[in-house]
Structures are given as C-alpha cells and as structure tokens.
Chains A and B, each alone.
Chain A
Amino acid sequence: MSMMVKIPGLLSTVQDIGRFGFQRYGIPQSGPMDDLSFRIANLLVGNGKNEGAIEITGGIFESVFDDDRTIAICGGDPVATINGREIAPWCSIDVKSGDMLRLSGMKNGFRVYLAIGGGVKVEKIFKSKSTCLPAKFGGFKGRKLIAGDLIAFEDSHLKVKHEMNRVFEGTTKIRVIAGPQWGYLKNDGEFLNSRYKITSDSDRTGYRLDGPKLDLDRYDIVSEGVTNGTIQVAGNGLPIIMMVDHQTTGGYPKIANVISVDMPALGQKKPDDEIEFQLTDVDMARKLYVERERWLRSIEYDLRSVESKFYFVKVDGTQFNVEVKE
C-alpha cells in the first residue's frame, strides 16, 4: 500500500489540483505546474482528475513499490525503467510488489507526474493534498520528498490499461493578455519582440526572466491580488511570472497575464529555456480553454468506457485477477 522513495531528485512533492478559496488568507493555490499532464496521469490510472500524485522536477527519481498497482508517468518526455526494463510514459503500467521504478532524466520538458491507482494518501489540509512549500504544510509532511520516505496509497483494487499519445508542447511562444498596467510600458514592442530566458532563480513560486529591461512609467503600485501567470515587472525592469506557489498579493505593475492553456507548456520550461510573448485576448483565451477542457473530458469518457476493466481480488490470501467485460 505504499512506496519507498530511494532517490527524490531535484524536487519531488505531493500535489493534487490545488488549494482553492484560501487566497484571501494569503495561502497560495499550489498544485501542479503542468496541470494538463497531471490530470492525464490520473486518468490513465483510473483516478479522478484531481487525485494526489507526485510532481518530479527534472525527471530524476527512484522508488520501490510494496504493492501491486497501476501507475502512469506523464509530463514531457521522461526516460523511465522498471527493474531496468524501459517503460513507456503516457500509458498505464502495472507494477508488482518489489518493483523498482527509476526515472533517469528528460528528453524534453522538466516536470513529470507519477500517478498511482487510488492516489497518494496524505491528510487534506484546507481541502487539498497539495504541498505548500512556502508555508511548509500539506502534501507529505509539508516538505519535499527525501530518501527513505514511505508514501502511502489510498485503497484501490482497480487495474486499468490505457495509453495515449504524448501531450507535450515544446512551444517557445507563450500567449498573454494585456494586464492592468500594460499602459505603463513605454514601448510594448520591446516586450513582445524579445526573447526572455528563464533564470536559475526560478521555482514553483515564480519564473524570473532575463532579457531586455523594460522601460515603465513607474515600478510600484498599491499591492493587490495577483494570479497564476501574472507577469509583474520589478524595479530592475525584468519580468517575473507568477507560478502556482506565488504570493497572493504583489506590488509591481502587472503588464500582462499568461493564458490558462499555455500554463502547462510554461510549467515544462527549465532554467535557461527561452520564451517569447504573443498578445491575444480574453475571447480567444476562453475559446482555447473551453476546447481543451472538452478534449480532456472526451479522453476521460473514452478511458472509462473501454471494453474491459481488471480487478485484483483476494480470496483466502490468494490473489486473482478478474476481468470484467462490459
């Protein structure tokens, strides 16, 4: 009913879809940096879209299972093996008790989601299993995973077999909507026609960018609430993009906001990757968002209606695999 973490990699945390309704108390949303890959990983193991999974930054991770389970690894293009045998990401995989999962890097992207049938079992804090790193609560003991951690799973007897095509947009073009202080930009072309590099000083709270310094009419405003993808320009003229663990309020001009459907691609960027911004509007952003959600629901529907489901059943200590045909 659990797995033992052997190598936690750069940063591995328990995340569900996020913590909502507590930002007025200064509590960040948290949740996955790439919510699309996260949700697909959960669907591939037969979970609801929002179950607790592990976000693995940088794609280095090792763990040993003590139970038979279905798992899935989604997000970018990771290199993964079980007991040394290569396995495919973006599909359901059966693991047996004693199996060792090893992720040894990324061909593309930066963040991988390890979903487990049933989901990670941790106490919900403020209605969420997500780890809030800035305030050290939620997830597994309020911290990133370390070697030796025993991660418990929720009960599950469901065994599913699904696969799908890799969903990974390596795009460098990030679409934005003009923000409340867009007008502070003395030359908006400078922002839109430049490439910005994600610096090593970037994390789940925000991406600090390096590139041409932006000339603004002023650099401080009265602090107010910000949101995921909000691009603020600090006094040094460089943009910062708010990511899932961002402070709930900010006092720098908000020149633009990344649209929802481009947040997963942004979440897959790593330090030194370059991005450029493209202006769009609210109507287009909504159209794209609604399309993506519909597509995700159609996947969910397809996966749930496949012809057979397998169940593990234990009778007098002996395990049987039962296949149910619909």
Chain B
Amino acid sequence: MVIETLGDRGLILKFSDEINQIAHLLVMKIDKLLLNSKIEGVIEWIPSYSSITLIYNPEIIKYKCLLEKLKHFDESSVDFVVEGKTVEIPVLYGGKFGPDIEFVASANKISVENVIKIHSGANYEVWMIGFMPGFPYLYGLPPIINTPRLKNPRKFVPSGSIGIAGGQTGIYPIDSPGGWQIIGRTPLKIFDVKKDPPVLFDVGDRVKFIPIDEKGYEKLCR
C-alpha cells in the first residue's frame, strides 16, 4: 500500500496503478478496516478500482498521526472474503429502451439475442460508484460484448438506462447526458433520495441482470 497526499485534508491509499482483482480485494479489505476502526477525525472515504481516497479533518487528526495509524493497518487481519449482497436488476433489453443494442450486436458480430444472453449471464461486482450519484462501475463484462462509446454523446439518457462503454457496463441512476451504448432499461429506482443508503448497492456488492419483457416492465413500474 502506497499512501499519497491529496491536499491538506485528503489521502489516497493506493494498491495499484492499474485495474486488477488483487488490488480491488485490498480496497475492500481496507474499506472494512476503516469502517471498523472509526478513526477520530476521518470524515469519509471513497473506495474505487484500486485505491481509497480518504477525507479527514486536519484540526482533529494530524497528517502524520493519520499516516501512522494507516500504516499499521494490516489487511491480512481481514480474513474474509465476505461477499457483498447480490442485487438483481430486471432489464427490458432492446427496443426503444435499448437503442444501441443492435450496434453492440453488429460491432461484435453476434445476434441481439446473444448480446442479451451474454450481458445477463455474467456476474458483476460494483467496483466504484462515481461520475454521478449512484452510478456503478461494474466489473465483469464479458470481452465479446465490449463496445466503444458513442462518437456523439446523447444530451439525454433516461434514468435506469443500462449502458456499455469499452469493457465497462453501468446503470444511469438519474436522467443525464451520456456517451455509453444503451442496451436496455430497468424500472428499478437505483438512486432514491428518500432512502438511506440512497443507492441500491454499495461498492463490493454483486449485480445480476435479469431479462424481462414489456409486461414485466409495466408490472414493476406500478
């Protein structure tokens, strides 16, 4: 673990410069240790692919004291791999809710049915939430349906849209502009300001996409 300085109230605990599973496992372990240790002066931290950005109050804890405490963090003391919860996301693939699914299919020289089969057949893990409230960066997209971003990003992508960008897949939690290839939509509310936690999943949780038809979609909307 390398500790980097991010201003006078931030630190980055870094496990790798690249995206890999070993680094992310360490992220999840240190996330757990931070949660359990309740260091006074630590305000919050943001787990990501291969690092954790930690925000602290420098009046309550000095930089050097915090470094000392963090250096003694022993990730081997977290012997889990406790799996996160599994969240099932029903998706209506294709049609007007998935305007780019045919492009994803043709770009990868497979059928639309196979895109659905492959996308919904894979197991995903939330590796980071960022970009906008509740936007999950999911690990586990099978390479055979990797597709580049749109050349011209859309000004409006409705909330619940499921997208692919390169080797990543994700869900738009709120209406926003966006450049991901949209292959379907979920009727579930991913981000809800009336709930705490506000997002359906946390970093480390598993996500499974379940294909549904229009009737199923309408039923879930009710």
A and B associate: yes
Is A137 located at the chain interface by the 8 A CB criterion?
A: yes
B8 within 8 A of A: yes
Interface centre among B7, B9, B18, B55 (most CB of A within 10 A): B7
Task: Give chain B interface residues in 1-25, CB to chain A under 8 Å.
Answer: 4-10, 12, 14, 17-19
Q: How far is the CA of A177 from the CA of B18 in the complex (A)?
A: 24
Smallest CB separation, A126 vs chain B (Å):
7
Contact among B7, B50, B137, B191 for A177, CB-based, below 8 A: B7
* Residues of the B chain whose Cβ atoms lie less than 8 Å from the Cβ of A282: 5, 8, 63
Residue from B7, B62, B131 within 8 A of A260 (CB atoms) = B7
- Interface-forming stretch among B71-79, B94-102, B108-116, B193-201? B193-201
Q: Of B39-47, B84-92, B138-146, B178-186, which binds chain A? A: B39-47
Cβ contact within 8 Å between A24 and B50:
no
B58 within 8 A of A: yes
Asked if B131 contacts A227 (CB within 8 A), the reply is no
Q: In the complex, are the beta carbons of A180 and B5 less than 8 A apart?
A: yes
For residue B82, CB closer than 8 A to chain A, the reply is no
Encoded as 1 (CB less than 8 Å from any A CB) or 0, chain B from 47 to 70 comes to 111111101001100110000000
In the complex, the answer to whether A249 meets B5 with C-beta atoms within 8 Å is: no
Contact: A21 with B43, CB < 8 Å?
A: yes
Closest Cβ of chain B to A27, distance in Å, is: 5
Q: Please name the residue on chain B nearest to A263 by beta carbon.
A: B7
Given contacts A222-B17, A225-B46, A225-B48, is CB(A247)–CB(B7) below 8 Å?
A: no
Is B203 in the interface zone, CB < 8 Å from A? yes
Q: Is the CB of A177 within 8 A of B58?
A: no
What's the nearest-Cβ distance from chain B to residue A223, in Å? 6
On chain B, the residues within 8 Å of A125 by CB distance are 193
Give the number of A-B contacts (CB < 8 Å): 148
Is A50 at the interface (CB under 8 A from chain B)?
A: no
Instruction: Tell me, in angstroms, the Cα distance from A297 to B107 when the chains sit together.
Output: 62
- The B interface is mostly helix, strand or loop, or mixed, namely loop
**Please, which residues of chain A bring their CB within 8 A of the CB of B17?**
221-222
Given contacts A223-B49, A224-B49, contact A25 B198 (CB under 8 A): yes
Q: Report whether B9 and A260 are in contact in the complex, using a CB–CB cutoff of 8 Å.
A: yes
With known contacts A24-B202, A223-B137, A259–B45 Cβ distance under 8 A: no
**Is B129's beta carbon under 8 Å from chain A?**
yes
- Contact status of A26 and B53, CB under 8 A, knowing A20-B43, A180-B4, A260-B9: no
Contacting residues, chain A, for B135 (C-beta < 8 A): 26
Please, which residue of chain A has its CB at the minimum distance from the CB of B9? A260
CB neighbours of B19 from chain A (8 A): 222
- A224 close to B59 (CB less than 8 A): no
Assess whether A248 is in contact with B130, with CB atoms less than 8 Å apart.
yes
Taking a contact as CB atoms under 8 Å apart, the answer to whether B12 and A177 are in contact is no
A73 CB, nearest partner CB in chain B, Å: 28
| Segment at the interface with B among A98-106, A152-160, A208-216, A283-291 | A283-291
A178 at the interface (CB under 8 A from B): yes
Which residues of A are found within 8 Å of B49, using beta-carbon distances?
Answer: 222-224
CB pair A229–B7 under 8 Å, yes or no, is yes
Q: Which of A102-127 contact B (CB under 8 A)?
A: 125-126
* Interface contact A224-B5, CB-CB below 8 Å: no
Shortest distance from the beta carbon of B150 to any chain A beta carbon, whole Å: 18
Contact partner, A247, options B63, B132, B203, Cβ 8 Å: B132
Residues in chain B near residue A222, CB distance under 8 A: 17-19, 48-51
Q: Are A223 and B8 in contact (CB under 8 A)?
A: no
Contacts A134-B132, A135-B174, A290-B59; is A126 near B196 (CB within 8 Å)? yes
Across the interface, do A226 and B53 meet the contact criterion of CB distance under 8 Å? yes
Known: A20-B43, A248-B46. A224 touches B131 (CB 8 A): no
**Neighbour of A25 across the interface among B6, B43, B129, CB < 8 A:** B129
Cα distance, A153 to B124, chains bound together (Å): 47
- The minimal Cβ–Cβ distance linking A179 to chain B, given in whole angstroms, is 6
Cβ contact within 8 Å between B134 and A24: no
B197 (CB) vs chain A CBs: closest residue = A25
Kindly state whether residue A230 has any CB partner on chain B within 8 Å: yes
| B182-222 to A contact mask, C-beta < 8 Å, 1/0 | 00000000010100111100110000000000000000000
Interface residues of B (CB under 8 A from A): 4-10, 12, 14, 17-19, 43-53, 55, 58-59, 62-63, 128-135, 137, 173-174, 191, 193, 196-199, 202-203
- 29 CB contacts below 8 A, A to B, read A21-B44, A22-B198, A23-B46, A24-B129, A25-B129, A26-B129, A26-B135, A26-B173, A27-B133, A135-B132, A135-B174, A136-B174, A177-B5, A180-B6, A223-B128, A223-B130, A224-B48, A224-B49, A224-B51, A226-B6, A227-B9, A227-B55, A229-B7, A230-B6, A247-B130, A249-B131, A258-B7, A260-B58, A293-B59
Top 8 closest A-B pairs, CB basis? Answer: A225-B53, A249-B130, A257-B7, A225-B46, A285-B8, A180-B4, A224-B48, A227-B10
